[in-house]
Amino acid sequence: MDNNIATAQANEIAQQTPEDENQELSFGEKMLQWRESVGLTRKELARKLNVSLTAVKNWETGHSTPKLTKYSEIAKVLNISVKEMGLDANLDLNKIGDRIKYARLLRGMSIEAFSYEFGFAIQTVKSWESHTAEVSEPSLGRISRALDIPPTFFDMQTNPDQVLANLH
């Protein structure tokens, strides 16, 4: 019976098209690769991130994904960039609100934590990030200083990824 299973698996592999080989890895598969590349067990990663072993397992198996505010911490532990994790995948960095959100998430902060720590009203930050309110130049300056992000990151004429790359 084991030979039948092995034969079935071999046939399945043989029937894969070149397209199957080029499919992009899921977030969970990438998490597994990143973790293994730095030589950590699931338990060690969980301990470093102060999350449960079940959380790491669920991330790697695709049952759940980390909170966005955990991305920067995960990236640091796994020695990868937040961009590699796809944090900006759903953001339009041609919009100032999305740049604010991206900068906040890079610092691992929820809207609530950001607002409380730096004295912004939660609703104001939400309105900036949802593009329903304009952001004043003085507010952008405060955000830049608060998040320790160069002001040029918020200049819509610059490439935000290039600004971040110059930080390292």
Q: Is the pLDDT of residue 60 over 90?
A: yes
Query: The pTM is what?
Result: 0.66
- b/e code 66-91 from CB counts within 10 Å (16+ = b): bebbbbbbbbebbebbbbebebbeeb
Check for a shared fold between 23-85 and 96-165.
yes
CATH topology for the 96-165 domain: 434 Repressor (Amino-terminal Domain) (1.10.260)
DSSP symbol at 36: H
CATH architecture entry for 23-85:
Orthogonal Bundle (1.10)
For residue range 66-97, what is the model confidence (pLDDT) as tens digits? 887 788 789 889 998 777 887 777 889 899 99
Length of the chain equals 168
Q: Which residues contact 21 (CB under 8 A, 6 or more apart)?
A: none
The 3-state secondary structure of 52-97, one letter per residue: CHHHHHHHHHCCCCCCHHHHHHHHHHHCCCCHHHCCCCCCCCCCHH
pLDDT, tens digit, for every residue of 148-168?
889 999 999 998 878 877 765
Q: 35 near 42, Cβ under 8 Å?
A: yes
**In this predicted structure, what is the pLDDT of residue 10?**
38
Give the C-alpha distances (Å, rounded to integers) separating 8 from 1, 13, 17, 125: 11, 9, 16, 55
Q: Which amino acid is at 111?
A: I
Q: Where are the domains of the chain?
A: 23-85, 96-165
pLDDT at 55: 95
pLDDT given for residue 11 in this prediction: 42
Average pLDDT, the chain: 83
Share of the chain above pLDDT 70, in %: 85
What is the pLDDT at residue 89? 76
pLDDT-derived band at 17 (thresholds 50, 70, 90) equals very low
Please check the confidence at residue 64 and state whether its pLDDT lies above 50: yes
DSSP 38: T
